[in-house]
Structure 1
Amino acid sequence: KMRFSYDTLETENSMMLAELAAQQERIDGLLTKVKNGYWEVARAKKEAETLRSIMKGYIGTIDSLNQLNTALLDENLAMKAQMEAVSQENADLVERQENMEDMLEAGQTLQVAEFLPTGVRVLSSGRQRDTDRADRCNSLRVCFTILENRIAPVGDKTLHLRITDPTGRVLPDESGSTELSASRTIDYVRERLDACIFYNGADGNAILGLDAGTYLVEILEGTEVIGTTDLVLR
């Protein structure tokens, strides 16, 4: 009976030892995994710290680039504003130059004063007599004074006479053209000058056959009207 108990105890002890060995092996495996796990965590932590340091460097670089970009943007805006100011100044200078040229050109234009148009009747004797009767006019005489102009170019100047009848029709010149009624060339020397232009129509000294009414009389230098008045015929 004691032999049986001893054998049984020995058998149970062997089984426990085997189980303990198996548990120890599991524990060793778990310890190995834990150690490996800690190593992975440590490595990941180290890599994270490295990445965090790199990110801080990137953030610093980005901040520096942003500051540089802001400075360049401010400089660009300042330069743009300066260029716009210079461009506006140039535009103002061009406009001023154009205005001065216009003023000079306008100042060079002749001016007419003492403008006097008159109907003329030519008698059989050849003498001329002023008339305001439309049906007796052989000619129209337009006299005027050209004022002194110290900046006008000297030399020959062609002045044109344009007479518009009460119906709005321009009296034709000797060639029949209705753009202008008559022309005359004068020698201008920048001094006051009295002059007259005669309108004789297309038939010389024949009766002009004018209608009664108000006629618009204009003197032109080139295409510029330099004097205008009315002539009333009855």
Structure 2
Amino acid sequence: MENQNSNSKLKGIIALLAVLLIGSLIYIFKLTSDAKTLETTVTTTKSEKEAVMKDLEALKATYDAAIEENTSMSDELIAERDKVVKLMEDLKKAKGDNASLKKYKDQYKSMEAKMKNLMQEVDVLKQQNKTLTTNLDSTKVVLEDSKKYNQVLVGQNEELAKTVEKGSKLSITNLKTAAYKLRSSGKQVETDKASRTDVLQVSFTIAENKIAKSGDKTYYVQIIDAKNNVLGDKATATFGENTLTYSFTTTVQYENQTVDVKEQLKGKDFAKGTYFVNVFDKGELVSKSSFTLR
């Protein structure tokens, strides 16, 4: 009987030890799993932090390249670039937890959107500069033609001829262009949106000049859109060695008094951007301006 009790106690101890062993194994397995999970989390967080840093470095590189082009927007580009640099410095010091990384990701997305808008403005400025260069070349051609004309005034007093010529030329002032939406009622409503524009109205004033020759005066109006296309009739006229492509002509009866001129050009599918308006007296550019449709 005593041996049976001893055996029972021994079996109980063995069973208890088995239970403790199993419990220990389960605990060790859980610790190992938790460590692996923590290691994976840390590795993932570090990788995401590095990815955000690379995105910010690319953003900074884009600003650096744009700033080197030295456009009129350089100050604004530098300010935005400095914000990116500050965010990169803050990110380096950050602990890299999920909440912190989300904040930096959100700030990066906001800065990226701002950068895209600024780059679009830079592209518009580049196109405007290109168009202005083209117009300057055209003006040089007109000036060269004027020089050739003056050279044929052989035997006359050149200084007196220049004074008389300058004084007798008609002066064009107040050149303006407005865009209008044409309603079904016939009423025109001014707009600055390309998608709403149906009519472009060009107006200017011929100044009073008592010594100028009176009579009918014909002017050639040239409208160039944001894509460098001449709008309207796209007709051509030749003046000496030069050919002018124009949008329309306007003829005014001039009696040495101030005259206001107003003409309209209908169209559709007007492009967004900056437009240039040039007014020519035969082959001579006498006035120019620009406007923008958004």
TM-score between both structures, scaled by the size of structure 1? 0.52
- The structure richer in helix per residue is 2
Gaps of at least 5 residues in structure 2 are: 1-152, 238-243
The code of the aligned residue for 1:144 comes to: F
The code of the aligned residue for 1:115 comes to: L
Change (3 A) 1:169 1:157: same
Q: Report the number of matched residues.
A: 136
Change (3 A) 1:95 1:176: closer
**1:174 deviation in Å?**
7.1
**1:219 deviation in Å?**
1.5
Larger Rg: 1
Equivalent positions of 1:213-232 (< 5 A) are 213-232=273-292
Q: Do residues 182 (structure 1) and 248 (structure 2) align? A: yes
Taking CA–CA contacts closer than 8 Å with sequence separation of 6 or more, which of the two structures ends up with the larger relative contact order?
1
Change (3 A) 1:100 1:170: farther
Change (3 A) 1:176 1:104: closer
- Identity fraction in percent: 32
Give 1:122's aligned residue: 182
The code of the aligned residue for 2:208 comes to: E
CA–CA distance in structure 2, aligned partners of residues 172 and 102 of structure 1: 35
Contact 1:166 1:213 in 2 (8 A): yes
The code of the aligned residue for 2:187 comes to: R
Question: Please, which of 257, 271, 274 is the counterpart of residue 211 of structure 1?
Answer: 271
Q: Do residues 193 (structure 1) and 256 (structure 2) align? A: no
Change (3 A) 1:116 1:125: same
Q: Do residues 164 (structure 1) and 224 (structure 2) align? A: yes
Gaps of at least 5 residues in structure 1 are: 1-92, 202-207
Give 1:54's aligned residue: none
RMSD (CA atoms): 2.5
Moved runs in structure 1, 4+ residues, more than 4 A?
93-96, 174-178
CA–CA distance in structure 2, aligned partners of residues 233 and 121 of structure 1: 13
CA–CA distance in structure 2, aligned partners of residues 164 and 103 of structure 1: 33
**1:175 deviation in Å?**
6.2
Give 1:100's aligned residue: 160
Change (3 A) 1:176 1:191: closer
**1:98 deviation in Å?**
3.2
SS at match of 1:179: strand
Change (3 A) 1:137 1:176: farther
**1:172 deviation in Å?**
3.4
Q: Do residues 146 (structure 1) and 212 (structure 2) align? A: no
The code of the aligned residue for 2:264 comes to: F
CA–CA distance in structure 1, aligned partners of residues 229 and 165 of structure 2: 31
CA–CA distance in structure 2, aligned partners of residues 152 and 176 of structure 1: 27
Contact 1:146 1:192 in 2 (8 A): yes
CA–CA distance in structure 1, aligned partners of residues 236 and 194 of structure 2: 20
Give 1:8's aligned residue: none
